[in-house]
Amino acid sequence: MADTLTVDGSQGADYRSMQQAVNNATSG
């Protein structure tokens, strides 16, 4: 999760999108 602090603006948005998608998938 600390990786979110190292990414840049646009990449941060992409990372959040991926992370949220993973959260949605794991939450069922």
Given a cut of 60, whether residue 4 has pLDDT beyond it is no
* 27 pLDDT higher than 70: yes
pLDDT at 17 over 60: yes
Classify the phi-psi angles of 8: left when phi > 0, otherwise alpha if psi is within -120 to 50, otherwise beta: beta
More confident call, 12 vs 16 = 16
Q: What is the DSSP letter of 28?
A: -
Domain count, the chain: 1
**What does the block give as tokens for 7?**
């990414």
Amino acid symbol at 25:
A
CA atoms of 25 and 3, how far apart (whole Å): 20
Q: Which residue segment(s) compose the domain that 21 sits in?
A: 1-27
